[in-house]
Amino acid sequence: MARTFYSQLLNDYDWEGMVADAIVNGEQALREAFTDGVEYDPEADIFDRETRGYYDLDELRFGTTFLGTVFAVYPSGKYYTAWACSNVTEKEAKVDEAFSAALDRVCDKYGISIQEGEGDPCDMFITVELPAGTIEKVWKEYVESQEEEGEEE
């Protein structure tokens, strides 16, 4: 019996592992932002916009990890563009649409979304909202480490 795209996606990828990796990456991004001077107010659950630098403060609430490229993930292995619509056959388009629908179901199951890369739109990343308390935890760790450094001096 042939596997469906949904079962193929569920079985061929370690979704729990990728979600965990995205959360670790999100925590690391927070540490870097705090080290670069981004301030956080845990009482109000807001970032201080005056110290944000080049950070997109809304993105600091999410973690991401690399899924693959469109060329490796999608069945056709092709990237669609408006100006090159002849690069894919009708059959390939239908198969890719079915694959996208299955990928959407997987995203719903794991509470993730798929985004393209900033530098390369062919790169695919999973994005997950950081669990409640993560920002506060990382901020507290950062503040404590700064206090320890101050005591050592």
Domains of the chain by residue range: 14-130
- Out of 2-16, 46-60, 95-109, 121-135, least confident range: 46-60
Between strands 123-129 and 112-116, the pairing is: antiparallel
Q: CA-CA distance, 139 to 25, in Å (whole number)?
A: 15
Assign 108 a pLDDT band (cuts: 50, 70, 90): very high
Reported as a single tens digit per residue, the pLDDT across 53-103 is: 667 778 889 999 999 999 999 999 998 876 666 788 889 988 999 999 999
Number of other CB atoms surrounding residue 138 within 10 Å: 21
Name, of 45-49, 78-82, 117-121, the range with top average pLDDT.
117-121
Task: Give pTM, 2 decimals.
Answer: 0.84
Q: CA-CA distance, 110 to 57, in Å (whole number)?
A: 24
